[in-house]
Chains A and B, each alone.
Chain A
Amino acid sequence: MLIFASSDPDRQTFWRRIRKISLFCFSFSVASCDLYAQAQQESAGGNLKKLSIEELMEVEVTSVSRQPEKLTEVASAVQIITQEDIHRSGATSIPEVLRLSPNLQVAQLSSQHWIISARGFNAGFSNKLLVMIDGRTVYSPLFAGVFWDAQQVVLEDVERIEIISGPGATVWGANAVNGVINIITKRARDTQGLFVTAAAGSYLRGQYVARYGGQIGSRTYYRVFAQHNNRDNTFRSDGSDKDDRWYITQAGFRMGVEASESSSFSIQGNVYSGTEKTLPEESAIDGQNIMGRWNYAFSETSEMSLQLYFDRTWRRDIPSTISDELETYDLDFQHHFKWGSVQHVVWGLGYRLMEDKTQNATPIVGLVPQDRNMDLFSSFIQDEIRVADPLKFIIGAKFQHNEFSGFEIQPSARLAWQVNSRNTVWAAASRAIRAPSRIDVDYQLPTYDVPDGVPNVDGGPNFDSEKVLAYELGYRTQLSKKITLSLASYYNIYDDLYSVEALPNTVTYQIQNGVEGNSRGIEFSGTADILPDWRLRGGYTYFYKNLEPKPGHIANTAVLGNDAENIVLIQSTVTIVKYLQVDAVFRYIDQLPEPLVSDYFSYDVRLAWVTKHWEFSVVGQNLYEKRHIEYATEQTAEIPRSIYGRISWRY
């Protein structure tokens, strides 16, 4: 076992171990708010008219509510996955739901693990994305990526998911280099009543969810829920069981108090515990979190929110031989107000303490020191200026201080030109950083001193943040009431990207910032209500990147991402008669270059019979092939075609 102590080092195994750490790597992030809903309380006027009738039904009629800003007015590449999209897709987990966003590359690595990226860099290290659930950051500072298996959400209670591709650093914060995923669940008063669902099938062995929402007095609403998910194994290339079946149980609550016209409180929390089959023995995860939020409106044009949360997440990961317990305390304050007649200011302050404790099961590999407390201070300000009526200029910056790279500034400038009520052109220039994570700085292979001449990895004591300068140009149009189209293009310049390099004349490797390069791409998406009962949504994404070692550096750039050049997604929802729904999702992912993974096409189909209280559905997932590969790892998984049936009851 102690290969690196031997005098005959096996380079291959060495690199395999370096890569293996990436398997452990899946998750982190910064708190926030409802994106554009965040802002505007301008007079309602013609904006309401642009809403679809479904959106109209979601408009709140009291003035404390935030004015829904039309998608067409936002100067960034935003995709929205609605509750309806989720429901009609047949998706059973957050990663499956995220497949519905054409600007994301979603790859299932095994039954338990996924990697998800926007604008490239799809790797075990997938670390340039900020992911939040109701404002709680869920990326792990351990490796700046997301452990998707631990992110359990009752899909029925998701209001929408906003996916912003491109830097969102100004408002959102650390890690929002290439995108932000903001999962927003419904408020307690929107989930009243009983909901029970049970699903079972060939890969989804069981999904059982129960939720009850009630009211206490006239101002307090709550919901409580519990769910259990049990998923079967994927397969090895020879068709044998990959030994990765797993199950997870979660329970939680959310409560909202509308204390007065101008003040509301909410508190929510959940606990989860899961067991994952791995070799040679089982891995385990568990966690608890609780969050409170207070919203207060000083006036119709000035509102603040104060949010506090605690999150503990733990995992014993047998394959990587590392266990990790992370406790996060986060305080976030935001205030937005109208300033004069043409300016709208949002500013905020935040503090986060992360107490991370790891345990290395063997001295072969691990984090040194094992435990680390990390502070993150942040503040931001953004001003939206209505220069002339159709022209909006948005300028802002985030100021952050993190444990490893110290003080960082992330500015952005955006311009939105609303040509008319149906057409918007926007452009943006931003700088964002991906702050170092523990895996960049503290990673040691092995964890003890070795004699000269024995290959080893000695952390990244000088590792600095990765940086991007992003230039974006976009166009959004509403061709008719039935068709909306959006086009976003970008050119990103990266510097100081991750590399693992030997120190001169030694076999001691250190994690450095030895790669630079650029990427460019186009994201095209749209929705079309072809008939009143037939809706199509989808998109096409093109991505190209060019990374090279910086002068004087020798680095393998392939580890930074195995990205598809072309991705196509189409979701179709059809209601044949009032009760019968026939839905499908088609997707095409181009080949991944290194290591080579063939391109693939697949589709999911959902048939459902829906009545007021009951719903019966059958869903086939990944139907095109018996098994397909989405990503190559040391132990590549083949994802099976699968089917499940579901019965739901709501009252």
Chain B
Amino acid sequence: MSKAQSEAAREHQVKAVFLFNFAQFVQWPDIAFDHTTSQLVIGVLGTDPFGSFLDETVKGESVNGHPLRVLRFQKPEDVVGCHILFIQIPKNEQLREVLEKLKGRHILTVSESTTFIKQGGIVRFVKENNKIRFQINLAAAKEADLVISSKLLRLAEVVSN
């Protein structure tokens, strides 16, 4: 593996573990789950940068009785039963459309796209000083009926669109 490749891999390994962590700091409304022991799904929409790492990370883990599972989606229409969604699509213009389709679905949307927050996304990863930080759009989270723990908010940069 070349150095550049391994670095990219490293960055996404860290992000994958962040996604896993988010599951523990976000409270979904009851209706987001079929029943109290149903799966908590981390979805990847578009290009999957994580390889098998995300699956390995959540393997055997559960949060508040919900076993974690990773699902991959090609189109926004495919997204069902998802709680956290990492979005990586090539064209920024499509983002708004995608987010529009996910509206009111109780999904914590996550992306690296620079315009993500502006377009109504909830969490955006930012690379800062070689470390991974994140921004949270509190208004968008509220709109999705998600309660984000104050601990996560403290670590995040809280922004608005």
Query: Which residues of A pack against B, CB within 8 Å?
Result: 44-46, 48-49, 51, 53-54, 56-63, 65, 189-190, 192, 261, 300, 481, 532-533, 575, 577-578
Q: Are B3 and A261 in contact (CB under 8 A)?
A: yes
Please, which residues of chain B bring their CB within 8 A of the CB of A54? 155
The smallest beta-carbon distance between A259 and chain B, in angstroms, is 15
The segment out of B36-44, B108-116, B128-136 that lies at the interface is B128-136
Report which of B11, B21, B25, B131 forms a contact with A58, defined as CB distance below 8 A.
B131
The segment out of B90-98, B99-107, B144-152 that lies at the interface is B144-152
Q: Are A53 and B152 in contact (CB under 8 A)?
A: yes
Q: Are A49 and B17 in contact (CB under 8 A)?
A: yes
Indicate whether A532 sits within 8 Å of B130 (C-beta atoms), given known contacts A46-B56, A53-B25. Answer: no
A62–B154 alpha-carbon span in the complex (Å): 25
| Residues of B contacting A: mostly | helix
Q: Are B149 and A532 in contact (CB under 8 A)?
A: yes
Indicate whether A48 sits within 8 Å of B7 (C-beta atoms), given known contacts A54-B155, A61-B131. Answer: no
The smallest beta-carbon distance between B12 and chain A, in angstroms, is 9
Please, which residues of chain B bring their CB within 8 A of the CB of A49? 17, 20, 57
Q: Are B151 and A48 in contact (CB under 8 A)?
A: no
Indicate whether A56 sits within 8 Å of B14 (C-beta atoms), given known contacts A46-B56, A62-B7, A533-B151. Answer: yes
Indicate whether A56 sits within 8 Å of B150 (C-beta atoms), given known contacts A61-B132, A62-B130, A63-B7. Answer: no
The smallest beta-carbon distance between B14 and chain A, in angstroms, is 5
Report which of B13, B150, B152 forms a contact with A48, defined as CB distance below 8 A.
B13
Indicate whether A61 sits within 8 Å of B14 (C-beta atoms), given known contacts A53-B155, A192-B129. Answer: yes
Please, which residues of chain A bring their CB within 8 A of the CB of B10? 44, 61-63
B64 CB–A CB distance under 8 Å: no
Report which of B56, B131, B154 forms a contact with A575, defined as CB distance below 8 A.
B154
The smallest beta-carbon distance between B155 and chain A, in angstroms, is 6
For residues 9 through 29 of chain B, which have their beta carbon under 8 Å from a beta carbon of chain A? 10-11, 13-14, 17-18, 20-21, 24-25
The smallest beta-carbon distance between B6 and chain A, in angstroms, is 6
The smallest beta-carbon distance between A444 and chain B, in angstroms, is 54
| Residues of A contacting B: mostly | loop
Please, which residues of chain B bring their CB within 8 A of the CB of A532? 25, 149-151
A189–B3 alpha-carbon span in the complex (Å): 22
Please, which residues of chain A bring their CB within 8 A of the CB of B127? 61
Q: Are B57 and A60 in contact (CB under 8 A)?
A: no
Size category of the binding interface on chain B? 20 to 34
Indicate whether A61 sits within 8 Å of B130 (C-beta atoms), given known contacts A261-B3, A533-B150, A578-B150. Answer: yes
Please, which residues of chain A bring their CB within 8 A of the CB of B150? 532-533, 575, 577-578
Please, which residues of chain B bring their CB within 8 A of the CB of A578? 150, 153-154
The smallest beta-carbon distance between A69 and chain B, in angstroms, is 16
Question: Could you name 8 residue pairs across A and B whose Cβ atoms are closer than 8 Å?
Answer: A44-B10, A44-B13, A53-B151, A61-B131, A61-B132, A532-B150, A532-B151, A533-B151
- Apart from A56-B18, A261-B3, A578-B153: 17 A-B pairs, beta carbons within 8 A: A44-B10, A48-B13, A48-B17, A53-B18, A53-B25, A53-B152, A54-B155, A56-B17, A57-B131, A57-B155, A59-B132, A60-B130, A61-B10, A63-B3, A63-B10, A532-B149, A575-B150
Report which of A45, A57, A192, A577 forms a contact with B132, defined as CB distance below 8 A.
A57
The smallest beta-carbon distance between A613 and chain B, in angstroms, is 13
* B129 to A, closest residue via Cβ: A189
Q: Are A190 and B129 in contact (CB under 8 A)?
A: yes
The smallest beta-carbon distance between B160 and chain A, in angstroms, is 14
* B9 to A, closest residue via Cβ: A44
The residue among A53, A190, A261, A532 with the most chain B CB atoms within 10 A of its own CB is: A53
A60–B13 alpha-carbon span in the complex (Å): 11
A44–B18 alpha-carbon span in the complex (Å): 14
Across chains A and B, the number of contacting residue pairs, with CB separation under 8 Å, is 72
A550–B13 alpha-carbon span in the complex (Å): 59
Q: Are A48 and B14 in contact (CB under 8 A)?
A: yes
Please, which residues of chain A bring their CB within 8 A of the CB of B154? 575, 578
Please, which residues of chain B bring their CB within 8 A of the CB of A56? 14, 17-18, 21, 132
* A52 to B, closest residue via Cβ: B21
Q: Are A60 and B131 in contact (CB under 8 A)?
A: yes
The residue among A44, A56, A61, A63 with the most chain B CB atoms within 10 A of its own CB is: A61
Q: Are B133 and A57 in contact (CB under 8 A)?
A: yes
* A191 to B, closest residue via Cβ: B129
Please, which residues of chain B bring their CB within 8 A of the CB of A575? 150-151, 154
A54–B155 alpha-carbon span in the complex (Å): 8
A452–B149 alpha-carbon span in the complex (Å): 78
A57–B133 alpha-carbon span in the complex (Å): 6
A51–B20 alpha-carbon span in the complex (Å): 11
The smallest beta-carbon distance between B93 and chain A, in angstroms, is 28
A475–B131 alpha-carbon span in the complex (Å): 32
Please, which residues of chain B bring their CB within 8 A of the CB of A57? 131-133, 155
A59–B128 alpha-carbon span in the complex (Å): 11
- Chain A to chain B: the 4 pairs with minimum beta-carbon distance, closest first: A61-B11, A532-B151, A48-B17, A53-B21
* B20 to A, closest residue via Cβ: A49
The smallest beta-carbon distance between B3 and chain A, in angstroms, is 6
Please, which residues of chain B bring their CB within 8 A of the CB of A44? 10, 13
A63–B155 alpha-carbon span in the complex (Å): 24
Please, which residues of chain A bring their CB within 8 A of the CB of B18? 53, 56
* B15 to A, closest residue via Cβ: A61
Please, which residues of chain A bring their CB within 8 A of the CB of B13? 44, 48
Please, which residues of chain A bring their CB within 8 A of the CB of B21? 53, 56
Please, which residues of chain B bring their CB within 8 A of the CB of A48? 13-14, 17, 57
A130–B46 alpha-carbon span in the complex (Å): 54
Indicate whether A65 sits within 8 Å of B130 (C-beta atoms), given known contacts A49-B57, A578-B154. Answer: yes
Please, which residues of chain A bring their CB within 8 A of the CB of B20? 49
Please, which residues of chain A bring their CB within 8 A of the CB of B25? 53, 532
A45–B56 alpha-carbon span in the complex (Å): 9
A48–B155 alpha-carbon span in the complex (Å): 18
Please, which residues of chain B bring their CB within 8 A of the CB of A46? 56-57
Please, which residues of chain B bring their CB within 8 A of the CB of A60? 130-131
A44–B54 alpha-carbon span in the complex (Å): 13
* A535 to B, closest residue via Cβ: B151
A60–B133 alpha-carbon span in the complex (Å): 11
The residue among B25, B131, B132, B154 with the most chain A CB atoms within 10 A of its own CB is: B131
Please, which residues of chain A bring their CB within 8 A of the CB of B14? 48, 56, 59, 61
The smallest beta-carbon distance between A214 and chain B, in angstroms, is 13
A577–B155 alpha-carbon span in the complex (Å): 14
Please, which residues of chain B bring their CB within 8 A of the CB of A533? 150-151
A240–B6 alpha-carbon span in the complex (Å): 65
A51–B14 alpha-carbon span in the complex (Å): 10
Please, which residues of chain A bring their CB within 8 A of the CB of B11? 61
A451–B139 alpha-carbon span in the complex (Å): 88
A192–B73 alpha-carbon span in the complex (Å): 40
* B12 to A, closest residue via Cβ: A61
The smallest beta-carbon distance between B110 and chain A, in angstroms, is 14
Proximity bits, B36-73, A CB within 8 Å = 1, else 0: 00000000000000000000110000000000000000
A45–B13 alpha-carbon span in the complex (Å): 8
Indicate whether A61 sits within 8 Å of B7 (C-beta atoms), given known contacts A49-B20, A56-B17, A192-B129. Answer: yes
A379–B113 alpha-carbon span in the complex (Å): 50
